Copies of this chain bind each other. A is one copy, B any other.
Amino acid sequence: MKTAATAVDVARLAKVSQSAVSRSFTPGASVSEATRERVMAAARKLGYRPNALARSLITRRSRIVALVMGYLQNQFYPLVIEQLSQQLQKQGYHVLMFISDGDATDNVLDEILQYQIDGIVMASAMLSPTVARQCADVGVPVVLFNRVPDLSAFGRHSTCSVTSDNLRGGQLAAELLLARGHRRIAFLAGLEKSSTNLERERGFGQALQAAGAGVYRRAVGHYSFEGAQEATRALFAGPGRAPDAVFVANDHMAIAAMDVIRQELGLRVPQDVSVVGFDDVPQAAWGAYRLTTVAQSVGAMVDATVTLLNEQMHDGAPPRNVVVPCRVVERASVRPAPVRSARAAAAGPSRTASATPARAGSRRAAAS
């Protein structure tokens, strides 16, 4: 019982050759129904399971995809893990996790490549040129998730990528805030050099300019919770009038910003200040808020990633960059108050509270 059964054991018991066992477990192989059944019976009796590692050694395909991520506080990324993992599982692939804190990516890549990975999804670490070259040398396809290849370092189409239409998203945010009649519109930036922030900010600025407006104030939150809190304080501490709207570069920061706006500054959202976020975080993250956001579609992004991986792994197609559209979404987690307390009533009628029904539903219970 101590050591697992091998194909040879099964062959002996079934009185066939070991090759026959292998064939019986290979979908399209040439085996008679009789032998296959004998083999399967023996296999069941011995609890035999083909050794995926040995198989990979000869087929040169491990059916393992590496997923490289940084820190996971941004609730967007767990969704990615979950969905990507499930999609790949359906295709017989599996996800090997690599957590890398930014600079260590190059070292991590060394480990990755030892596992004879079939593909790499880089979801939140930077891909250094060195790393890209290494992958290309070994012939391992890379898909950049939510970030764009560094064009300065290598050719435009040497690496695949999946991103949201961050430029258009930034425009949408601006148009929305302008339409709401705001004129003192601030921007809370993420990591200034990241492609997501650059594009969102560019689209945002363009659309404001096109309307004859401009960014009223700007602060940098580095995509972190604490950074966003500080940045928000800065935005509202200026000498002139406070902003009447803020576009925040992602939801993670938007939530932090709303905390400060409401709890520290005592302002109401959205009555006193309009806040628009970006990303797609699960309901648990925005539960307490009426959050207007430019939502990325995690599902569409994951689908695209899987498609690209398949293209690269099987068809040897040329690398592509996929841009997924995003859309403005109004989130509200609870239905409008049936009982109004004195304090809630004082805030005026709860307009549009039920404008868009909560759309998280339908998922199974989380174990705890």
Interface residues of A (CB under 8 A from B): 1-4, 47, 49-54, 56-57, 62, 64, 67, 70-79, 81-82, 85-86, 89, 94-99, 101-102, 108, 110-111, 113-116, 124-125, 134, 137-139, 146-147, 190-191, 194, 196-197, 222-227, 229, 249-250, 252, 255-256, 258-260, 262-268, 278-279, 281-285, 287-289, 333-341, 343-347, 360-361, 363-368
Contacts and interface: CB of A to CB of B under 8 A. Distances in A.
A323 B256 CA distance: 34
A54 B125 CA distance: 29
B53 A255 contact: no
Given A70-B366, A223-B365, A366-B224, A97 B95 contact: yes
B114 A51 contact: yes
Contacts of A78: 72, 75, 77-78, 81
Contact of A334 (B49, B64, B260): B260
A208 to B, nearest CB: 21
A94 B266 CA distance: 47
B368 A196 contact: yes
A264 B99 contact: no
Contact of A229 (B56, B73, B334): B334
- Give 7 nearest A-B pairs by CB, closest first: A266-B341, A74-B366, A288-B288, A78-B78, A124-B367, A266-B344, A52-B114
Given A72-B78, A225-B283, A229-B334, 17 more contacts: A1-B137, A53-B62, A70-B364, A71-B82, A72-B366, A73-B283, A74-B284, A74-B368, A76-B368, A95-B97, A191-B365, A252-B368, A255-B288, A266-B341, A266-B343, A268-B343, A281-B284
